[in-house]
Structure 1
Amino acid sequence: MRRSVFHIKHTLLQSIFWLLLCSLLWIPAQHASAQVRSSIDSTAIKIGEEIQYTIEVVTDTTDLVVFPEGQTFLPLEVIESYKIDTTYEQAKYRLIKKYGLTQFDSGSYTIPPQRVVINEQIAATDSLRVEVRDVAVDTTLQKMFDIKPAMDVADPPYDFLKMLYWLLPLLLLLAVLGYVLFRRKQKREAEEKQLPPYEEAIVALKALDHSDLLKQNRSKEYYSQLTEIVKRYLDREVDDAALESTSDELIARLQLHKDAGHFDFDTETIQHLDDVLKRADLVKFAKMQQATEQAETDRKTIESIITETHEVIPEPSEEELLRNEAYAEAARKAARSRKRKRLIGIVIMVALVTITVNGVTQGWGTMWENLFGSEMSELANGRWIKSEYGNPTVIIETPDVLIRKEIPIPEEVKEVVLSSQYFEFGSKDTFYVSVNTNTYNSKMMQDEDMDLDVALEGGLKGIEALGGINIVTKTEEFSTDKGISGLKAYGEFELSDNKNKKIEYEMLLFKQNNGLQIITIIYEKDLTYAEEMKERIIRSVELEILEGAS
């Protein structure tokens, strides 16, 4: 690329400035305790290719060395400053500092001397010459193919594995919920079938009569069931603390009920119950074996106590019945409220476990997008559109239709550029796609071959116009699935208004005799679905072949 007169003058003045500065600050290596050398790994590179510039300093271990920082290598640009490599040899330090340099204009450039500060003295390196060459592209071997007809794209197959990730924990928790509800139903039905206290006690005593506990000399089990029957009856009819009370506590509470006039207990009945309970305690805790006749007598005594107690319990008044009904209704409402709360708690637990399982297996970001959706997931999984854009035509598949953007052709190039069309979609800081097609006057271009590296420079200027800074570029040859060759450039950059966000890009450039096609994809680094969408777009690229193109 030809440089302007202003650029040549600027470079000449800059070289004179560096020569004057070096003549004033130069410290010859033979007169200093430190040795400073510089070198480059190649004296000729292609446009955009990286060249490594190395500064090597051998100095005392006590010296303080400061290497150049920033863009001090102009007209070459610093794309990376590597860490200092330090080695120790013969009581001295060898410090090696490398810089990655590049240039996007072809030509011959001089890397100016670099200043290295050693303690309070400045040493300067030698200037070095670098040739930046164009990339020669031979399109005579490029194969051209007819454009494929439009075709419908089938919807992607249903992802059963993704459904399974959500379904399995949900089914597991539903099974647990079903089991809990089934057990609650069984318990409720058992409570509904429960007999009144008196009938329940009589049935239990008859069941005890039909047992073989006395015949097997199992007095402890017999008396345990006998005392539980009478305590359960008293717990339901007389005192709701009877089951948890000891024998002495139960007798004392019954005596209190009698003294308070709650129940008209016979003193003899309370005494008989006390005698049976004491004998039962001796059998249960002192392991005393009770005679069968005495056990049968105690069983009859317990039945008499239950019957006499049942007879002295007064019938509830109408007011008490109403109070009990109100209490029962309140209890039913409380039970329904507890049931609703438990059900809500189980539903929340099912949701949390399902979300946790999917978050661990798929990743929290993917899980969140699957659950609530996102703009990128809708674009990636939605219906894509395959369409033609520009002249010469680019056929490409994208998440949405590219919108034409009018870009006027400057007056000074209208004789060369016959047409220029630009289509775009998306946002530069998330996902952006553009297609740019141009046709040129073949008569004006007959003596000059179109250079894709020059076109690439124009594309990078376009990224700069979008706010891109610190652009890192790598290039390689590219071929479509149909064998059409071109140039691929890719890398990353930062946004001038948000330097914390890394942006990646990929650019495809194709040239014909009098046509140029550029496809640009820009997306946020590590953004979910972005890489997948970019690859799908690249694979879909097809081109129109102009007549006479070789």
Structure 2
Amino acid sequence: MISKLKYILLLFFIAISLNAQSVTVFANTDTTDYIVGDYIYYTLELNYPKNTRIEIPQIQDSITVLDFIKEEPVVSEESGNTVHILRKYIFSKYDSADVTIPGFRINYFLDGNSEPQFVNVNPVKIIVRTIEINAQGDIQDVKAPLKIQLDWLMILLIILIVVVVIVGVYFLYRYYRKKKLGIVPQKKIIKLPPYRIALDSLSELETKKLWQQGMIKEYHSEITGIIRKYFEDKFNFRALEMTSSEVLLSLKNINDTREIVEITDEFLNNADLVKFAKFKPIPTINEDMMKQAYEIVNKTKVEEEVKVETLEVKNV
């Protein structure tokens, strides 16, 4: 009877010892329903005894169904002999799908034990959806034309127009009078090359600090407009009227631009995500957009002297 009691007590203390040395892990996301381009916050919660070495694999290699953005600082707490750790990662996804974030293995070594043990991370299921558009809700009746009543504001406008016409006639009279006297000055037009116009515009955009003030969409719209205008002036195709894919196709057909096709693809894709998928880029992406814009111009520019064209006006 005493031997049996000793055996039961031994099993009890072994169970307590094993429980005290257990390692647990739990994975979750901040929600299960996302829109394309949203940030997906993925959290790993680990609990393990002190003096235990944990080996967490590279999260980018373990989770390939999502696009990795960054890892946030680790939060660590200790309670008695137990360590509690929170590791948070930010992902995103740019197409709609039912996604299962896979589980993976985390190896650990208990104090004084060189043999690795492991614990499995649980999989997490989420849904990534596109923005639903209500086509019927966007259809509206044509509004009737507004009727403008002739009031004092209209009278003042008419007076202003008359004054402008009189001033214009006066300056035309002076112009033709000088022309008859042969003293019409020559006009000089300074024509900057496309790369100078683009670089000046990018410098001016930087000083506005749009994305730093929360105007993300305006920033991406203006910076892509500068580069599209540069393509149009430099390579003579209608980049301002084309889609991003059409712009890339045109660049591939020009020998001097093939080296910028890849960076232009990334540049235009980021801008399209902001404008059409409500993508909220982190600050480094906004900074990279400016660096890429400068790189596109600098790699394709040809140093030219500023042209000064003289417009000669001859007397008749």
TM over 0.5: no
Normalised-by-shorter TM-score class: 0.3 to 0.5
Under a length normalisation based on structure 2, what TM-score does the superposition of the two structures give?
0.44
Q: Name which structure has the greater RCO, CA cutoff 8 Å, separation 6+.
A: 2
TM-score by length of 1: 0.27
More helix by share: 2
